[in-house]
Amino acid sequence: MAVIQPTPDHVLDKATIEELKKVNTTAVVDVLARNGYEPHYVYMPNVRTLNPGLRMVGRAITVRFVPSRPDGMAEKPGGEASPEFAAFELAGPGDVIVMESMRNKRMSIGGDIKFLRLKQRGVDGLVCDGGIRDMHTVQDYGVGMWGLDKTSNLGTRVGTPYSTNDTIAVDGILVRPGDYIVADDDGVVVIPRIVAPEIAQKAIEYDDLEEWIRRRLDKEQLTPGIYYPPDDEVIALYRKEKAERGE
């Protein structure tokens, strides 16, 4: 299928975000694939939830880590101007911090003290391809955490926060500032910002379509192949029934 063309407005409204939070990442992956964004473009294969049961939809604010070296560590801004802290201050409700952490579990990108600020700022979540410390405390902050694993390692010996709001690669997946991140217990998916409004609406409809298929199969006691995967004819039937019910 053709790639969806960019739209003038790349921001999802609050109502759409709340509806999209009800949609499993599997449906989002399916819809992206149907519209030109195959899973290898958008699905992080190794990043997993570290506090199960949370769903997240948020706009990405990015941080890039690079391998540690004394000269690089000396050059980077310190204190509150450090790139990760600068990102925290840009973020708020509806945002997610996304960190390129060198695909290394030993790269601890923070723990309870750092991430207390995310709780204070009302940030929805954090995604990284590194490790997260102090999950016994961080899990109670109400901030969704997705990473390679928990860790006890001292991350400053491995990597250095280098930049804020650059284009980054997390678990091999391109993330740009303003992209939307959808995450749940099944994984993390990136919706490119230029197609976010259209993909969101399609994913919400597709999730409802799959529920409609489940109900029909349960009622009719038929093989899934009758309706799934849904082709244009099945989609047309679903929409016709919805219209007849005035939905």
Quick count: other Cβ atoms within 10 Å of Cβ 220? 10
Burial per residue of 136-166, b for 16 or more beta-carbon CB atoms within 10 angstroms, e otherwise: eebbebebbbbbbebbeeebeebbbbbbbbe
CA distance 123 to 134: 18
Please state the domain extents for the chain.
Answer: 14-191, 200-244
Fold of the 14-191 domain: Glucose Oxidase; domain 1 (3.50.30)
Distances (CA, A) of 119 to 112, 132, 138, 241: 10, 15, 9, 44
Pair 58, 144: CB distance under 8 Å: no
Distances (CA, A) of 168 to 85, 176, 222: 17, 6, 46
pLDDT tens across the length of the chain (247 residues): 344 444 556 899 999 999 999 999 999 999 999 999 999 999 999 999 999 999 999 999 999 999 999 998 888 898 999 999 999 999 999 999 999 999 999 999 999 999 999 999 999 999 999 999 999 999 999 999 999 999 999 877 899 999 999 999 999 999 999 999 999 999 999 999 999 999 999 999 999 999 999 999 999 998 999 999 999 999 999 999 989 988 8
CA angle (241, 245, 247) in 5-degree steps? 95
Measured over the CA atoms of residue 88, residue 171, residue 183 and residue 58, the dihedral's sign is positive
Largest CA distance in the chain: 68
pLDDT, residue 6, reads: 44
| Single-letter amino acid code for the residue at 195 | V
pLDDT, residue 9, reads: 64
DSSP assignment of 3-57 equals PPPP-S--PPPHHHHHHHTTS-HHHHHHHHHHTT--HHHHEESS-EESSTT--EE
**Cis amide bond preceding 229, omega within 30:** yes
